[in-house]
Structure 1
């Protein structure tokens, strides 16, 4: 039978080994986890999960468009305050993929990202045949652009508008406003003034989005330095753009806006370059939360993102500016008086809300955010929301502008949203969330088991020692009692003692 001492020694050895293994995991575990993250987030065709997510973006991605339908176009021409009603969403499923992928020896990779849109009627408030009224960019935008031209030129422009039956406002189906409509004026301009318009075909607000790419990006793979993974090295061969008035504003900073370097902290910001906005932007940490069972950090746009130079001096290079909350993108939109803002002028100067009726900004509905897994730099839930606005005013000599009061007129806002779902979510959560957590818990489990085993060994040892001591005391007491009983017996029976002595003496004599 195995003694308690032997069992205690076994528990002591096993407990010591478990304690040692758990302690080693405390120091080695994070290193192993970080090493696995580094291997998985590097842009490398051998990394099936991360490379597929980067190359083909196999997650649901949608663009939801909301139009600001003008209720009182005639009154606007008389100088009254515009009134709008939001119509939408009109939702489009967005397919994105990368092509022309080329890896370079300096640990960068070049590619073009293409996008394609498909209308999702089941997710929309109606279909693309719904009719809305918005400002006519070809008329009202061109009028502001020609404001400083000689008066005869402005008269000629107004005559041209009348010739081609172009008025100050458009009332057309959503599909045509989005992807293009036939216009004799557009055909005339493309024929005699090529390059004046962004599209050589039909004119639509998103005509140059569908079946197009965002330019040639060259980004770092992270192979030599994981801190640079996804960071932009150049765009269309450029290290800087030339749209703006300062070197800082012309810088191409951050990533291409899809993934970021791993090991983010609450102090880390999220810079990215947006070809659609013609500039780099930066999001800031707001709060931690859990999205689809994955712990994430929520990043949002700061109030200074579209602030004017007076409120935020570093933005002076983006001017000429109007109120804070507006980005003048005319320099990269063929001179058109176009402004970008957050929807419903969220985070903008309150004065903008006084000039248009029907707007009601809120953070939940109109705030821009990205929920990102900080350990890997992979976005889990994305909602990028921007509004397109047109600056309107009366222009002398162009009768189409009537007596329009100066106003930054909202035309539409759109939300590009995506989230990890399905098998990709399961694989991501298993490999990059669950397994690291299991390893983290294992170290504490082994430490706890080790301490428990050592404690058990000590208890067994002490118990065995106590039993041995008690047994020794019992044996001693038993021997003492036996001797004592023998002595008493002799005293009480002396005859028996004498006979015993005689018997001994007799045997001795015989010998």
Structure 2
């Protein structure tokens, strides 16, 4: 009778082990469903969700670091037609995006509208010197007027240049070049980023994801329009993706991420590069492909971004984007710093440039479960074109069109330690705990099942032997 009870106990143990293992197996899809439902709920942009708190907050510091290009041989360029030689000077760092989104309105069609107030506060402790540091740089008014005025007006322009004692180059402080100065030729305030303080970007209209989480943060309208009007082309004028600060949850690294940047007046895509560890959080790093600013020869999709056949050598130059159509007519070209991924010609006619993939590329670090961008570096270089002009004294020695770098910026932000700890505590630790419970139940159940089953057969065999 005792032997019979042992066998029953072992059979019951096997059944118990099987039940535990099955429970652990069931918890895997059930747990995944719970995680997915919770993440999707918290990813909706509406008051009370995690996504809304991150979206509306201005607590994460965003900085813009500027490196300005100091021209070392201005006289030789003007008098001898020499190639300009530049040396970067920086960083000069400003805190930006410290103001929360304004005019936030939730609309009946599951979209939210807002504007991004813009401001810049100088951070001396993160800079190589004060804003009063000077650089020798291109005369924005001279280069701008040269690019915008027809050749028939060049004689008149030359008279204005001479009467104001201006030249192709000028000495300006960092603050003046970035944020504006009173120009003697234009009799107006001009600067690379003037006006900036007190202005805003937008308004934006984005999907909240309430009815379709795959559309969360995707831009529906910018400045009231569903498409751009800068490029006169259906493809180039598309507004694709988000603003880059977040994406739909459960990111697939095989699918590119699309985002729109008003700084460069177009949408771009970023592709998965590597899986990184950011303060204990696994993130996917996405970066721009060389095809983004490739010439139409290599990427036919970029043909509509080519605005001037003469200055781009019949649209064969890679690495620079003419944004004059969206910058009030100012002849500004955007590129990656030091013409990274650009044509060799751009670095042959400007000496002193040293592109470096690690320091000059743009990237996003995206947490794949939530789709939140936890770290990014947006790196952009501002350039202006000048070229030969026989009727303009300061340009009549110039031999060819030259795209001169003026400054490049690194706009960057990363989650702080407090936010990282919260993120790990509220999301990652709970997911890890659920996975541990699943594995413990599954493994323990399997072990109990097999141990009890083996013991049962051993007892039964011993019982038969004793009876025999």
Normalised to the residue count of structure 1, the TM-score between the two structures is: 0.84
Q: Structure 2: any 5+ residue segments left out of the alignment?
A: none
Q: Which residue of 2 aligns with 1:380?
A: 374
Question: Is this contact kept in 2: 1:66–1:87, CA < 8 A?
Answer: yes
Q: Which residue of 1 aligns with 2:351?
A: 357
Instruction: For residue 190 of structure 2, give the secondary structure of its aligned residue in structure 1.
Output: coil
Question: Are 2:168 and 2:395, in contact at CA under 8 Å, matched by a contact in 1?
Answer: yes
Q: Does 1:450 align with 2:452?
A: no
* 1:305 counterpart SS class: helix
**Which residue in the other structure is 2:389 paired with?**
395
SS of the equivalent of 2:404 reads strand
Conservation of the 8 A alpha-carbon contact between 2:180 and 2:195? no
| Rounded Cα–Cα distance in structure 1 between residues aligned with 2:162 and 2:117 | 38
Aligned residues: 456
Contact 1:139 1:400 in 2 (8 A): no
TM-aligned CA distance change 1:213 to 1:391, over 3 Å = same
Paired residues of 1:255 and 1:271 also in contact (CA < 8 A): yes
Deviation at 1:400, TM superposition (A): 3.5
Contact 2:305–2:322 (Cα < 8 Å) also in 1: yes
Superposed counterparts of 1:458-469, under 5 Å: 458-462=453-457, 464-465=459-460
Aligned to 1:431: 426
Which residue of the partner structure matches residue 161 of structure 1?
161
Shift of 1:420: 1.4
Structure (1 or 2) with the greater helix fraction: 1
Greater shift, 155-164 or 268-277, is seen at 155-164
Instruction: Provide runs of 4+ in structure 1 moved above 4 Å.
Output: 1-7, 462-473
Residue number among 335, 347, 351 corresponding to 1:341 in the alignment: 335
Structure 1 residue 248 corresponds to structure 2 residue 250: no
1-structure distance, mates of 2:58, 2:256? 23
Residue 97 of structure 1 aligns to a residue whose secondary structure is coil
- For residue 33 of structure 1, report the CA deviation from its aligned partner: 1.2
Paired residues of 2:244 and 2:373 also in contact (CA < 8 A): no
Aligned to 2:75: 74
Once the two structures are superposed, residues 338-387 of structure 1 have per-residue CA deviations (whole angstroms, 9 ceiling, x without a partner) of: 21111111111112111111011111111111111122211122011111
Distance change >3 Å, CA 14–CA 127, structure 1 → 2: farther
For residue 80 of structure 1, report the CA deviation from its aligned partner.
Answer: 0.4
Q: Residue in 1 aligned with 2:108?
A: 105
* Residue 287 of structure 2: aligned partner: 300
Corresponding residue number in structure 2 for 1:481: none
Counterpart among 314, 318, 332 of residue 305 in structure 2:
318
Distance in 2 separating the partners of 1:305 and 1:96: 31
- Tell me how far 1:464 sits from its aligned partner: 4.9
Q: Is the 8 A contact 2:63 2:94 kept in 1?
A: yes
Relative to structure 1, is the Cα distance of residues 233 and 208 closer, same or farther in structure 2, using a 3 angstrom cutoff?
same
CA contact (8 A) 2:141 2:183 kept: no
CA distance in structure 2 between the aligned counterparts of 1:123 and 1:100, rounded to whole angstroms? 32
CA distance in 1, matches of 2:6, 2:171: 93
Structure 2 Cα separation of the partners of residues 24 and 115 of structure 1: 51
User: Do 2:279 and 2:417's aligned partners in 1 also have CA atoms closer than 8 Å?
Assistant: no
2:87 corresponds in structure 1 to: 85
Q: Find 1:422's aligned residue among 417, 420, 429.
A: 417
Find the partner of 2:253 among 254, 266, 271.
266
8 Å CA contact 1:58–1:424 kept in 2: the answer is: no
Please state how far the C-alpha of 1:456 moved relative to its aligned partner: 3.4
Take 1:239 and 1:224, find their aligned partners in 2: how far apart are those partners? 20
Q: Tell me whether 335-344 or 103-112 shows the greater mean CA deviation.
A: 335-344
Q: How does 1:227-246 map to 2 (within 5 A)?
A: 227-246=214-233
CA distance in 1, matches of 2:174, 2:430: 47
Query: What pairs with 1:214-225 in structure 2 (closer than 5 Å)?
Result: 214-225=201-212
Q: Deviations over 1:377-414 (max 9, x none)?
A: 11122011111111011324332434223211111111
Distance 1:10 1:119 in 2: 73
Q: Which residue of 2 aligns with 1:506?
A: none
2:51 matched to 1:50?
Answer: yes
Gaps of 5+ in 1: 190-201, 474-511
How far, CA to CA, are the matches of 2:449 and 2:40 in structure 1? Answer: 37
Asked which structure has the greater CA Rg, the reply is 1
Cα deviation for residue 337 of structure 1 reads 2.2
Q: CA RMSD in A?
A: 2.2
Please point out which of 133, 138, 155 is paired with 2:136: 133
Normalising by the residue count of structure 2, what TM-score does the alignment of the two structures yield?
Answer: 0.91
